[in-house]
Structure 1
Amino acid sequence: MQITSPQFKENARIALTDVGLQKALGNVKNGFPQKRANAVKRLPEFDQLRDQGRDLKNHIIANLDIYLEEFEANVIKNGGHVHWCRTSEDARQTILKICQDKGAKTVTKGKSMVTEEINLNEYLEANGITPVETDLGEYILQLRGEHPSHIIAPAIHLNLEDVSETFHAHHHKPKSMDPAVLMQEAREELRARFVAADVGITGANFLVAETGSSIIVTNEGNGDLTQTLPKTHIVVTSIEKVVPTLEDMTLFLRLLARSATGQEFTVYNTLSTGPKRQKIKTVLKTTM
């Protein structure tokens, strides 16, 4: 990811005169902050849950080695693999080798801030593999050649007019200002990519030590298509995502959506525990 913080003053000066950006960000105050406040108000024990989450996180960090080793052991037991990467280059090379070993030409991706931080897309492209972002906001930004501006709403700095222009330029269809039409355009473009993908790459909201599971929390369903349609699924995440048990995970799930988008619960909460198993057929024979 390109670091622009050294140019903060100049970037801020330009942003303050950007009418389109001011319009887009003006919508934020009536979005996430208010929705979060409403969600918190509906859950009287919210602050108590936050305290429990804080204490649990402190415990996890203090015992991180134990839970990571347990997680790895259970992933292997389930038929998966864990790759430990110290640097961005280690991570990029590991992911590339997996893709190359599978003969991958196209990779679909769920939203992942870690892959943004390690510049994975650019690396894959430089090595002959086409990455396709499937989160709607990330897909829009990929078409525009931009990085996300927000961890939850990556395209929050854009307006409807910007999306319309971008889709018209890349999809070569009549320009529309109807969000439903634009959504359908994206759906039609991405469906073929989902089916054709050789490898799917997602992040993880949580890693459960006791089961070796990875969990993604999404609202669009693209994460499920990304990790289930290709024959190979790669999870790229950071080590502090581990939690001891499934019960611990549910505590964080009660906090996550409310704090992020103001929802009671996200639409999709998907647990992956190893590769597809062989079906076991059971035949029951009764005699009279």
Structure 2
Amino acid sequence: EGNADLGVSLPALHIACMGLEKIIPRLSDLAVFTRLLARSATGQPITTYTSHFHGPRPGGQLHIVIVDNGRTDIRATPAYRSALQCIRCGACMNTCPVYRRSGGHSYSHTVPGPIGSILAPASDPQAHHSLPYACTLCGSCTDVCPVKIPLHHQLLAWRGELAQRKMIPLGKRLSMKLARIVLGTPWIYRSAGWLARKSLRILPHWLTHNRLNTWTRQRELPSAPQKSFRELYRKMKG
């Protein structure tokens, strides 16, 4: 957008802030990352243009502020170290089924999507303990990541770590235990599905769409199917 050129064209003092993970080994590696970023972010062969600053202008000053802010702690943790390889292309967000339906502002961190759900708990696990659960573990983000970050594996690792730290709210812990029982017992799962389908068909509209249920203010519950997938599969198989 030209913001970098606009910001340094007039002032004599140029101060730039960057995370320490932005440092690359050699200048010759820059071309590789530039092409990789463009192809993964927008599908272009290369960015439209790139601004390079090699030093201060004559008579001016250039200061580079390298920000740590917990990055060395992440680097010291083998399970999440590779998250610092992120080049912010946004490919994991574009393919994530959760992000595509919720949007960036629904995340409680500056960086949204799968990579944000990994970096956020590292900075403040108490404030962002829910983000690793905003994931279906489908692995689509890992498949498209150009720098090969095992994103869904790291999200799963964060779930285990947060559980060990006892940072999951009581209500969520109880609901997860209930889900484990239901999903691990076939007859309970089938009965729960049957009961849910019947209930959605007979419940009055006002019972599910009211002021107390904020979820349905801007959403409609899907129509209950007549038969479960298991029943349809048995019928088609035959």
Alignment TM class, shorter chain as reference: under 0.3
Per chain length, whose mean CA-contact separation is higher, i.e. which structure has more relative contact order (CA < 8 Å, sep 6+)?
1
Q: Name the structure where strand makes up a greater proportion of residues.
A: 1
User: Normalised by the size of structure 2, how large is the TM-score?
Assistant: 0.23
Normalised TM-score (structure 1): 0.20
